[in-house]
Amino acid sequence: MNGAQSLLAAMIRNGIDVCFANPGTSELHFVAALDHADGMRCVLGLFEGVLTGAADGYARMAGRPASTLMHLGPGLANGLSNLHNAMRAQSPVVNVIGDHATYHRHYDTPLTSDIEGTARPFSHWVRTSPNADSLATDAAAAIAAARTAPGRIATLILPADASWGPLTAEPAAAEAVVPEAPQAAGTAVDAAARVLRSGETTALILGPQATREIPLERAGQIADFTGARLYAPTHTGRITRGAGRVPVQRVPYPIGRAAAAFDDVQNIILVGAKPPVAFFAYPGRPSQLYRPGTRVHELARADQDVPGALTALCDALGAGRATPKRAGLSLPGRPAGALTPAKIGAVLAASLPEQAIVVDESITTGRSFLADTECSRPHDWILGTGGSIGYALPCATGAAIACPGRKVVVLESDGSGMYMPQALWTQAREQLDILTIVFANRTYQILREEMSNLGVTARGPKAKALTDIGGPRIDWVSLARAFGAEAFRAATADELSRHIDAGLALQGPVVIEAAL
Does residue 368 lie within any of the structural domains? Answer: yes
pLDDT at 259: 93
**DSSP conformation letters of 145-180:** HHTSTT--EEEEEEEHHHHHSBPSSPPP-----PPP
Considering the domain boundaries, does residue 180 fall inside one?
no
| Closest-CA residue to 480 (of 409, 403, 428, 415) | 428
pLDDT at position 457 is 79
90, 133: one domain: yes
User: 382 in a domain, yes or no?
Assistant: yes
Asked if 209 contacts 237 with a C-beta cutoff of 8 angstroms, the reply is: no
Q: Which of 458, 365, 473, 368 is nearest to 418 (CA)?
A: 473
Sign for the pseudo-dihedral over CA of 459, 419, 70, 407: positive
Residue 156 within any structural domain of the chain: yes
Nearest alpha-carbon partner for 193 in 295, 272, 299, 270: 299
Summary count for the chain: helices (H), strands (E): 20, 18
- What Å distances lie between residue 449 and 81, 114, 281, CA to CA? 23, 39, 14
Which pLDDT value is given to residue 464?
A: 85
SS3 assignment, position 478 = helix
pLDDT at 70: 98
Nearest to 238 by CA among 89, 85, 88, 83: 89
Stretch 268-273: mean pLDDT: 98
Pairing, β 379-383 against β 249-250: unpaired
Same domain, 114 and 194: no
Can you give the pLDDT at residue 171? 76
Report yes or no on 412 lying in a domain: yes
Quote the crossing angle between the two packed helices 306-317 and 186-197, to the nearest 10°: 50
Query: Same domain, yes or no, for 355 and 289?
Result: no
On whether both 473 and 407 belong to a single domain, the answer is: yes
Q: Do 208 and 272 meet the contact criterion of CB atoms below 8 Å apart? A: yes
The confidence band for 12, taking pLDDT boundaries of 50, 70 and 90, is: very high
Query: Are 361 and 443 within one domain?
Result: yes
Determine the average pLDDT of the residues in 182-190.
97
The pLDDT, as a whole number, for residue 187 is 98
Which of 317, 351, 383 is where one domain is finished?
317
27 lies in the same domain as 110 = yes
Residues 411 and 455 in one domain: yes
Cβ 75 vs Cβ 135: under 8 Å? no
Could you tell me if residue 108 is inside a domain? yes
Q: How many domains does one find in the chain?
A: 3
Cα separation, 257 vs 167, whole angstroms: 61
Pairing of strands 510-515, 486-490: parallel
Q: What is the mean pLDDT of the chain?
A: 96
Banded pLDDT at 459 (limits 50, 70, 90): confident
Are residues 242 and 119 part of one domain?
A: no
Question: Is residue 333 included in any domain, yes or no?
Answer: no
The CATH number assigned to the domain holding 455 equals 3.40.50.970
* 249-258, 345-354, 378-387: segment of lowest average pLDDT: 249-258
- If one counts every other C-beta atom within 10 angstroms of the C-beta of residue 322, the result is 17
Q: Is the pLDDT of residue 339 over 90?
A: yes
Question: For the residues 250-268, what does the mean pLDDT come to?
Answer: 94
Alpha helices in 227-340 (DSSP H): 255-261, 306-317
The vertex-470 CA angle with 468 and 474, nearest 5°, equals 130
The answer to whether residue 395 scores a pLDDT higher than 80 is yes
Given a contact cutoff of 8 angstroms between Cβ atoms, the answer to whether 254 and 403 are in contact is no
User: Which residues touch 114 (CB under 8 Å, ≥6 apart)?
Assistant: 73
| Domain shared by 346 and 436, yes or no | yes
What are the residue ranges of helices labelled H in 403-507?
A: 414-417, 423-430, 445-453, 461-465, 476-482, 493-505
pLDDT score of 21: 98
pLDDT category, 24, cuts 50, 70, 90? very high
Residue 267 sits in the same domain as residue 120: no
3-state SS, one letter per residue, for 183-208: CCCHHHHHHHHHHHHCCCCEEEEECH
The H or E element that residue 136 is part of is helix 135-146
What CATH number does residue 209 fall under?
3.40.50.1220
Q: Which residue has the higher pLDDT, 234 or 174?
A: 234
pLDDT digits (tens, 9 = 90+) for 29-74: 999 999 988 999 999 999 999 999 999 999 999 999 999 999 999 9
pLDDT of residue 172: 72
Peptide bond into 292 cis (omega under 30): no
Predicted confidence band of residue 448 (pLDDT cuts 50, 70, 90): confident
Name the residue range of residue 146's domain: 3-164
Q: What pLDDT score was predicted for residue 193?
A: 98
Classify 351 as helix, strand or coil: helix
DSSP-H helix ranges across 233-368: 255-261, 306-317, 341-351
Q: Are residues 347 and 474 in the same domain?
A: yes
Q: Is residue 433 part of a domain?
A: yes
* pLDDT tens, residue by residue, 172-185: 788 999 999 999 99
Length of the chain: 516
Whether residues 363 and 454 fall in one domain: yes
Q: Is the pLDDT of residue 170 over 90?
A: no
Question: pTM for the whole thing?
Answer: 0.96
Domain boundary among 317, 352, 387: 317
pLDDT at 135: 97
Percentage of residues in the chain having pLDDT higher than 70: 100
3-class DSSP assignment, residue 300: strand
User: What is the number of alpha carbons within 13 Å of residue 363 lying toward its C-beta?
Assistant: 24
Phi, psi of 41 (to 5 degrees): -90, 130
Rounded CA gap, 462 and 234, in Å? 31
